[in-house]
Structure 1
Amino acid sequence: MIVRTRWTMPHSRDELWPLLCDSAVELTPRCPVFYLGTPRPTECRLPEGPGEVGASRQCVSQQGVVRQRITAWDPPARLAFHMEETDLCFSRFVDRLEDVFELSPEGSSTRITRTTTVSVRSHFAAVLGLPLWVGLKSVHRFVFRNWQRMTAY
Protein backbone atom coordinates (compact mmCIF):
# COMPACT_ATOMS: atom_id res chain seq x y z
CA MET A 1 0.00 0.00 0.00
CA ILE A 2 1.20 3.50 -0.83
CA VAL A 3 -0.02 6.63 0.94
CA ARG A 4 1.08 9.95 -0.57
CA THR A 5 0.36 13.41 0.79
CA ARG A 6 1.45 16.75 -0.68
CA TRP A 7 1.57 20.00 1.27
CA THR A 8 2.79 23.46 0.29
CA MET A 9 4.37 25.79 2.83
CA PRO A 10 5.51 29.40 2.36
CA HIS A 11 9.11 28.67 3.37
CA SER A 12 12.31 27.61 1.66
CA ARG A 13 13.52 24.02 1.66
CA ASP A 14 16.44 25.06 3.87
CA GLU A 15 14.02 26.37 6.50
CA LEU A 16 11.86 23.22 6.42
CA TRP A 17 14.56 20.53 6.24
CA PRO A 18 15.37 20.58 10.01
CA LEU A 19 11.75 19.66 10.79
CA LEU A 20 12.29 16.26 9.18
CA CYS A 21 14.73 15.22 11.88
CA ASP A 22 14.12 17.39 14.89
CA SER A 23 10.56 18.34 15.65
CA ALA A 24 8.24 18.01 18.58
CA VAL A 25 4.49 17.97 18.21
CA GLU A 26 2.35 19.95 20.61
CA LEU A 27 -1.00 20.01 18.87
CA THR A 28 -4.04 18.46 20.42
CA PRO A 29 -5.39 15.73 18.18
CA ARG A 30 -8.36 17.03 16.23
CA CYS A 31 -8.73 13.96 14.08
CA PRO A 32 -10.96 11.15 15.40
CA VAL A 33 -8.52 8.44 14.30
CA PHE A 34 -6.21 9.39 17.17
CA TYR A 35 -9.04 8.70 19.60
CA LEU A 36 -9.50 5.29 17.94
CA GLY A 37 -5.93 4.22 18.68
CA THR A 38 -3.84 5.52 15.76
CA PRO A 39 -0.46 6.49 17.26
CA ARG A 40 -0.19 10.29 17.42
CA PRO A 41 3.37 11.46 16.73
CA THR A 42 4.98 13.54 19.43
CA GLU A 43 8.60 13.85 18.23
CA CYS A 44 11.03 12.92 15.46
CA ARG A 45 14.76 12.92 16.17
CA LEU A 46 18.21 11.74 15.18
CA PRO A 47 19.35 10.01 18.40
CA GLU A 48 22.96 9.48 17.29
CA GLY A 49 23.69 13.03 16.12
CA PRO A 50 24.01 14.20 12.52
CA GLY A 51 21.98 12.71 9.73
CA GLU A 52 23.42 10.66 6.90
CA VAL A 53 22.72 7.46 5.03
CA GLY A 54 22.88 4.64 7.57
CA ALA A 55 22.11 6.84 10.59
CA SER A 56 19.18 6.06 12.85
CA ARG A 57 16.04 8.14 13.12
CA GLN A 58 13.25 7.79 15.66
CA CYS A 59 9.63 8.78 15.57
CA VAL A 60 8.06 8.83 19.00
CA SER A 61 4.35 8.65 19.71
CA GLN A 62 2.34 8.46 22.89
CA GLN A 63 2.17 4.68 22.43
CA GLY A 64 5.80 3.90 21.58
CA VAL A 65 8.71 4.40 19.20
CA VAL A 66 9.41 3.58 15.56
CA ARG A 67 13.13 3.03 15.05
CA GLN A 68 14.23 3.76 11.49
CA ARG A 69 17.34 3.62 9.32
CA ILE A 70 18.04 6.47 6.87
CA THR A 71 18.41 5.21 3.30
CA ALA A 72 18.62 8.57 1.44
CA TRP A 73 20.01 11.83 2.82
CA ASP A 74 20.07 14.68 0.30
CA PRO A 75 19.50 17.99 2.16
CA PRO A 76 17.38 19.96 1.56
CA ALA A 77 15.65 17.90 -1.14
CA ARG A 78 15.10 14.27 -0.10
CA LEU A 79 15.03 12.07 2.99
CA ALA A 80 14.12 8.39 2.95
CA PHE A 81 14.14 5.76 5.68
CA HIS A 82 12.67 2.40 6.59
CA MET A 83 11.41 0.95 9.84
CA GLU A 84 13.80 -1.42 11.55
CA GLU A 85 11.70 -2.10 14.63
CA THR A 86 8.87 -0.73 16.70
CA ASP A 87 7.09 -1.39 19.95
CA LEU A 88 3.81 -0.01 18.57
CA CYS A 89 0.81 -2.30 18.24
CA PHE A 90 1.00 -2.45 14.43
CA SER A 91 4.26 -4.43 14.59
CA ARG A 92 2.15 -7.61 14.66
CA PHE A 93 0.84 -7.12 11.15
CA VAL A 94 3.23 -4.75 9.30
CA ASP A 95 6.19 -6.40 7.55
CA ARG A 96 7.68 -3.25 6.02
CA LEU A 97 7.22 0.50 6.38
CA GLU A 98 9.21 3.00 4.32
CA ASP A 99 8.92 6.77 4.11
CA VAL A 100 10.23 9.30 1.60
CA PHE A 101 10.06 13.07 2.03
CA GLU A 102 10.72 15.18 -1.06
CA LEU A 103 10.98 18.97 -0.84
CA SER A 104 10.52 20.83 -4.14
CA PRO A 105 10.73 24.60 -4.58
CA GLU A 106 7.59 26.29 -5.92
CA GLY A 107 8.40 29.96 -6.28
CA SER A 108 9.01 31.27 -2.77
CA SER A 109 7.24 28.24 -1.26
CA THR A 110 8.10 24.56 -0.89
CA ARG A 111 6.00 21.58 -1.87
CA ILE A 112 6.56 18.68 0.54
CA THR A 113 5.59 15.23 -0.68
CA ARG A 114 5.52 12.40 1.84
CA THR A 115 5.17 8.89 0.49
CA THR A 116 4.71 5.99 2.88
CA THR A 117 4.90 2.44 1.56
CA VAL A 118 3.56 -0.30 3.82
CA SER A 119 3.58 -4.04 3.40
CA VAL A 120 1.01 -5.83 5.56
CA ARG A 121 1.14 -9.55 6.30
CA SER A 122 -1.23 -11.23 3.87
CA HIS A 123 -3.77 -12.60 6.32
CA PHE A 124 -4.33 -9.09 7.74
CA ALA A 125 -4.37 -7.17 4.45
CA ALA A 126 -8.07 -7.41 3.62
CA VAL A 127 -9.19 -6.33 7.08
CA LEU A 128 -6.61 -3.62 7.75
CA GLY A 129 -6.16 -2.01 4.33
CA LEU A 130 -8.64 0.86 4.64
CA PRO A 131 -8.12 1.62 8.36
CA LEU A 132 -4.35 1.61 7.87
CA TRP A 133 -4.58 3.96 4.86
CA VAL A 134 -6.86 6.36 6.78
CA GLY A 135 -4.56 6.27 9.82
CA LEU A 136 -1.42 6.96 7.79
CA LYS A 137 -3.07 9.77 5.82
CA SER A 138 -4.22 11.33 9.10
CA VAL A 139 -0.69 11.14 10.53
CA HIS A 140 0.73 12.79 7.37
CA ARG A 141 -1.74 15.68 7.62
CA PHE A 142 -1.29 16.01 11.37
CA VAL A 143 2.50 16.34 11.00
CA PHE A 144 2.22 18.85 8.14
CA ARG A 145 -0.28 20.97 10.10
CA ASN A 146 2.09 20.93 13.07
CA TRP A 147 5.02 22.03 10.89
CA GLN A 148 2.85 24.81 9.48
CA ARG A 149 2.10 25.98 13.03
CA MET A 150 5.76 25.74 14.07
CA THR A 151 6.95 27.84 11.13
CA ALA A 152 4.26 30.50 11.53
CA TYR A 153 6.27 32.31 14.22
Structure 2
Amino acid sequence: MPAVAILVAKAIHLLVARRVTYARTRSGRFGELAALCLCVGVLAFAVGNMSGFESRPTRACATARSGHFDPRSHQDASNAGVTVISRAFPPSVVCTWPDGSTVQLVPFWVTWALPTSLAGAVVFAGLAVRYSAPQPSAPSGTRP
Protein backbone atom coordinates (compact mmCIF):
# COMPACT_ATOMS: atom_id res chain seq x y z
CA MET A 1 0.00 0.00 0.00
CA PRO A 2 1.63 3.27 -1.14
CA ALA A 3 0.22 5.29 1.78
CA VAL A 4 2.10 3.12 4.27
CA ALA A 5 5.30 3.38 2.22
CA ILE A 6 5.07 7.18 2.15
CA LEU A 7 4.44 7.36 5.91
CA VAL A 8 7.41 5.06 6.61
CA ALA A 9 9.66 7.13 4.31
CA LYS A 10 8.57 10.33 6.07
CA ALA A 11 9.24 8.79 9.50
CA ILE A 12 12.74 7.75 8.41
CA HIS A 13 13.36 11.21 6.96
CA LEU A 14 12.23 12.81 10.21
CA LEU A 15 14.58 10.62 12.25
CA VAL A 16 17.58 11.18 9.99
CA ALA A 17 17.20 14.82 8.95
CA ARG A 18 15.23 16.06 11.98
CA ARG A 19 12.98 17.90 9.53
CA VAL A 20 9.39 17.01 8.74
CA THR A 21 9.40 17.99 5.07
CA TYR A 22 11.71 17.58 2.10
CA ALA A 23 10.66 20.86 0.49
CA ARG A 24 12.40 24.11 1.24
CA THR A 25 9.64 26.48 0.08
CA ARG A 26 6.60 27.31 2.16
CA SER A 27 4.14 26.12 -0.51
CA GLY A 28 6.08 22.88 -0.95
CA ARG A 29 5.99 22.19 2.79
CA PHE A 30 2.24 22.73 2.93
CA GLY A 31 1.80 20.51 -0.12
CA GLU A 32 3.78 17.73 1.58
CA LEU A 33 1.73 18.07 4.74
CA ALA A 34 -1.48 17.82 2.66
CA ALA A 35 -0.15 14.61 1.07
CA LEU A 36 0.73 13.21 4.51
CA CYS A 37 -2.77 13.94 5.77
CA LEU A 38 -4.21 12.15 2.74
CA CYS A 39 -1.96 9.14 3.43
CA VAL A 40 -3.20 8.96 7.01
CA GLY A 41 -6.79 9.26 5.75
CA VAL A 42 -6.31 6.47 3.19
CA LEU A 43 -4.76 4.24 5.83
CA ALA A 44 -7.59 4.91 8.30
CA PHE A 45 -10.18 4.30 5.58
CA ALA A 46 -8.57 0.99 4.61
CA VAL A 47 -8.33 -0.22 8.21
CA GLY A 48 -11.92 0.81 8.87
CA ASN A 49 -13.28 -0.98 5.83
CA MET A 50 -11.25 -4.12 6.49
CA SER A 51 -12.53 -4.36 10.08
CA GLY A 52 -14.80 -7.35 10.41
CA PHE A 53 -14.01 -8.46 6.86
CA GLU A 54 -14.39 -12.22 6.94
CA SER A 55 -16.16 -14.98 5.05
CA ARG A 56 -18.49 -15.37 8.05
CA PRO A 57 -19.15 -11.90 9.51
CA THR A 58 -20.85 -13.38 12.57
CA ARG A 59 -17.51 -14.95 13.54
CA ALA A 60 -15.91 -11.51 13.83
CA CYS A 61 -18.92 -10.32 15.84
CA ALA A 62 -18.76 -13.28 18.21
CA THR A 63 -15.00 -12.84 18.66
CA ALA A 64 -15.42 -9.13 19.46
CA ARG A 65 -18.25 -9.87 21.91
CA SER A 66 -16.54 -12.71 23.77
CA GLY A 67 -13.00 -11.33 23.65
CA HIS A 68 -11.40 -14.55 22.40
CA PHE A 69 -11.24 -16.32 19.05
CA ASP A 70 -13.18 -19.53 18.57
CA PRO A 71 -13.37 -20.91 15.01
CA ARG A 72 -16.82 -22.36 15.67
CA SER A 73 -18.26 -19.36 17.50
CA HIS A 74 -20.45 -18.42 14.54
CA GLN A 75 -22.27 -21.76 14.99
CA ASP A 76 -23.13 -21.07 18.64
CA ALA A 77 -26.87 -20.77 19.30
CA SER A 78 -26.36 -17.45 21.16
CA ASN A 79 -25.02 -15.93 17.93
CA ALA A 80 -27.92 -17.15 15.79
CA GLY A 81 -29.77 -13.88 15.27
CA VAL A 82 -26.85 -11.51 14.75
CA THR A 83 -27.48 -8.68 12.32
CA VAL A 84 -24.41 -7.10 10.74
CA ILE A 85 -24.77 -3.59 9.30
CA SER A 86 -21.83 -2.16 7.34
CA ARG A 87 -21.23 1.31 6.02
CA ALA A 88 -18.35 2.32 3.73
CA PHE A 89 -18.08 6.01 4.65
CA PRO A 90 -17.55 6.68 7.43
CA PRO A 91 -16.41 3.09 7.98
CA SER A 92 -18.71 1.27 10.36
CA VAL A 93 -19.50 -2.38 11.04
CA VAL A 94 -22.08 -2.84 13.80
CA CYS A 95 -23.18 -6.25 15.06
CA THR A 96 -26.56 -6.35 16.78
CA TRP A 97 -27.86 -9.33 18.74
CA PRO A 98 -31.55 -10.06 19.33
CA ASP A 99 -31.16 -9.09 23.01
CA GLY A 100 -30.22 -5.54 21.91
CA SER A 101 -26.49 -5.63 22.63
CA THR A 102 -24.23 -4.19 19.95
CA VAL A 103 -20.54 -4.32 19.07
CA GLN A 104 -18.68 -1.88 16.80
CA LEU A 105 -15.92 -3.69 14.88
CA VAL A 106 -14.21 -0.58 13.48
CA PRO A 107 -11.47 0.69 15.83
CA PHE A 108 -12.20 3.94 17.67
CA TRP A 109 -9.21 5.82 16.25
CA VAL A 110 -10.59 5.45 12.71
CA THR A 111 -13.69 7.38 13.75
CA TRP A 112 -11.72 10.55 14.46
CA ALA A 113 -8.61 10.04 12.29
CA LEU A 114 -10.48 9.91 8.99
CA PRO A 115 -12.36 13.25 9.14
CA THR A 116 -9.46 14.98 10.89
CA SER A 117 -6.93 13.90 8.28
CA LEU A 118 -9.24 14.85 5.41
CA ALA A 119 -9.83 18.30 6.94
CA GLY A 120 -6.06 18.70 7.42
CA ALA A 121 -5.46 17.79 3.78
CA VAL A 122 -7.93 20.43 2.62
CA VAL A 123 -6.46 23.13 4.88
CA PHE A 124 -2.83 22.36 3.95
CA ALA A 125 -3.66 22.13 0.23
CA GLY A 126 -5.35 25.52 0.45
CA LEU A 127 -2.31 27.00 2.17
CA ALA A 128 -0.02 25.48 -0.46
CA VAL A 129 -2.05 27.11 -3.22
CA ARG A 130 -2.14 30.42 -1.38
CA TYR A 131 1.63 30.54 -0.90
CA SER A 132 2.42 29.33 -4.39
CA ALA A 133 0.72 32.36 -5.94
CA PRO A 134 3.05 35.29 -6.59
CA GLN A 135 2.89 37.90 -3.85
CA PRO A 136 2.27 41.46 -4.95
CA SER A 137 5.25 43.63 -4.26
CA ALA A 138 4.90 47.00 -2.58
CA PRO A 139 6.12 50.02 -4.54
CA SER A 140 9.53 51.17 -3.41
CA GLY A 141 9.60 53.98 -0.91
CA THR A 142 6.17 53.20 0.56
CA ARG A 143 5.30 51.32 3.69
CA PRO A 144 2.61 48.66 3.76
Common topology (TM > 0.5): no
| Largest Rg, 1 or 2 | 2
Q: Which has the higher strand share?
A: 1
Q: Which has the higher helix share?
A: 2
